[in-house]
Amino acid sequence: MRLVIAQMKHETNTFSPVPTDLRRFARGRATPLEGEAIRAAFKGTGTAIGAFIALAEKAGAELVLPVAGDASPSGPVETAAYEWMATRILDAVAKGCDAVLLDLHGAMVTEAHDDGEGELLGRIRKLAPKLPVGVALDMHTNLFPAMVENATALAGYQTYPHVDMYETGMRAGRPILALLEGRAMPVMVSGQRPMLPHVMRQSSLDGPNFAIQTRAKDMEREGVLAATFFVGFPHADIPWAGSSAVVVTDGDAVKAKQCCDALLDMAWTDRAQFVYRIEPLAASLARAQQMQGGPIVLLDHYDNCASGGTMDTMTVLGGILDAGLADVAAFAIYDPEAANKMKAAGVGSNVTLALGGKMDMPSLGLKGVPRQVSGKVKVIVDGQYKNEGPMAKGAAGDMGLSAVLDTGKVEIAVISRHTEPYDIAPFRLLGIDPAKKRYLMLKSRVHWRAGLGPLAKATVECAGTGVCTSDYAQLEFRRVRRPIYPLDPDAQA
Ligand SMILES: [Zn+2]
């Protein structure tokens, strides 16, 4: 048995000014991993591609590993980058194989295609019409019909923070192996409801999504091969942004449809609970100052790099500095220029920097605004670490040349590659113990809860500035299908 296993992951924020070239998919190298280097990098890691490798090795299959690319969310993928990766996958399929297992995100928009995944799957289907194709997807998939039409089995994460990447790889891969071995005949049904659940209300740890994901897991315990409810990714102005569901059963299309509708109906009934209410920043910071103990997480959720944020807006950090909050660690400001200046100055030096604000945000009509910050260079590191988990456990992390600027009251991590804080490892590397801080400013939305949630005494959500704004009114939606809730409060299912 020969299996083609590949990864090509990107969540595209169509409002983001951050460019998405091939290097962004390459984790610090010039081009993404190819061949046996992929097995070495991912075998035994808590990722979907890690699960595919385990499944294939257990089945005694020959592995063909054409490419593994995973880019931090940003603007539309450059055509050259997309074609570089897609061509390698298609070439591997053209040489002959028994099945393809793909670790994709499910919200990839390219310069040429609204649906990067559907385009890739359509090309594979054209090349090999009967080839079984299994795909692991993120819960933030914006599901286009072409993805369902051109795959055999789709399965998406059932947790947010995403701590079940490995299990999702298993859920997508097992039906394909069962098909190859004559043990099952997967059928798949999908559907959607016209709604854009707010990212700040999507966590599976609580709220409406907890019950929906619990129901999906119950369906699998009761014999469904894979049941997935996608919350969708709203910061993508494309026709099929929003929530959807897909269910795979063994030969029972009626049951698949019933399960799919059950998940979608739960979401639609609870749609008002997926709407987020915004608190002004000054009120949030004043509230945080009244709280006792720590660490209190000050969540800069408008500028999360893992949703396409530039990670260099200074509104929330500026508010913290202006309010005089003390014993604060801030992770992080993306500013390679500032990190280089701190390295040139050296550990122990006093510096004054025009920090952050290097990137304009045309989709919001905003210019980047740096802020003068003075402090001592406390730490300089190369930024390489391994995730301790539970999210992407064992996978390598790279925040590039990184440094800590200590103002006396605030320790500011300054990094050179976009890195969302969801793991303790980058803090350790920078010599910051988050558990000992009174306040932790994090540029994140939900994923921080994976590795740092247990440390937090309280959370204060801080409305700042950024292209993953939590205020939909700041975004101009022109292409998403209408009516859609809550942009259109009276939208009907
Ligand atoms: Zn996601």
Per-residue pLDDT of the chain (493 residues; tens, 9 = 90+): 999 999 999 999 999 999 999 999 998 789 999 999 999 999 999 999 999 999 999 999 999 999 999 999 999 999 999 999 999 999 999 999 999 999 999 999 999 999 999 999 999 999 999 999 999 999 999 999 999 999 999 999 999 999 999 999 999 999 999 999 999 999 999 999 999 999 999 999 999 999 999 999 999 999 999 999 999 999 999 999 999 999 999 999 999 999 999 999 999 999 999 999 999 999 999 999 999 999 999 999 999 999 999 999 999 999 999 999 999 999 999 999 999 999 999 999 999 999 999 999 999 999 999 999 999 999 999 999 999 989 989 999 999 999 999 999 999 999 999 999 999 999 999 999 999 999 999 999 999 999 999 999 999 999 999 999 999 999 999 999 999 999 999 999 9
Residue 387 Cα to ligand 1 middle (Å): 17
CA atoms of 138 and 485, how far apart (whole Å): 22
With CA atoms as reference, report the closest residue to 247 among 306, 196, 186, 206.
186
Under DSSP, the state recorded for 454 is G
Q: How far apart are CA 340 and CA 337, in angstroms?
A: 5
Say how many Å lie between the CA of residue 292 and the centre of ligand 1: 33
Other Cβ atoms closer than 10 A to 291: 13
Residues with CB under 5 A from ligand 1 (ion): 138, 140
Taken in order 30, 35, 40, 42, the sign of the CA dihedral is positive
Burial zone of 217 (CB within 10 Å; 0-12 exposed, 13-18 middle, 19+ buried)? middle
Find out whether 301 and 465 touch, Cβ atoms under 8 Å.
no
Centroid of ligand 1 to alpha carbon of 273 (angstroms): 19
What Cα–Cα distance (Å) separates residue 419 from each residue in 139, 302, 304, 374, 428? Answer: 19, 15, 9, 24, 14
Using the 8-state DSSP alphabet, how is residue 34 labeled?
-
Separation between Cα atoms, residue 124 and residue 259, nearest integer Å: 28
Tokens of 429: 């590397």
Cβ(168)–Cβ(216) below 8 Å: no
CB-based contact 291:212 (threshold 8 Å): no
The closest alpha carbon to 139, from 203, 230, 22, belongs to 230
| Ligand 1 midpoint to CA 194 (Å) | 19
3-state secondary structure of 7: strand
d(CA 483, ligand 1 centre) in Å: 24
- One-letter amino acid for residue 481 of the chain: R
Burial of 178 (0-12, 13-18, 19+ CB in 10 A): middle
Q: Are strands 371-381 and 350-355 parallel, antiparallel or unpaired?
A: antiparallel
Q: Confirm if 490 and 484 have CB atoms less than 8 A apart.
A: no
Distance between Cα 8 and ligand 1 center (Å)? 14
Q: Are 161 and 446 in contact (CB under 8 A)?
A: yes
432 in helix, strand or coil? Answer: coil
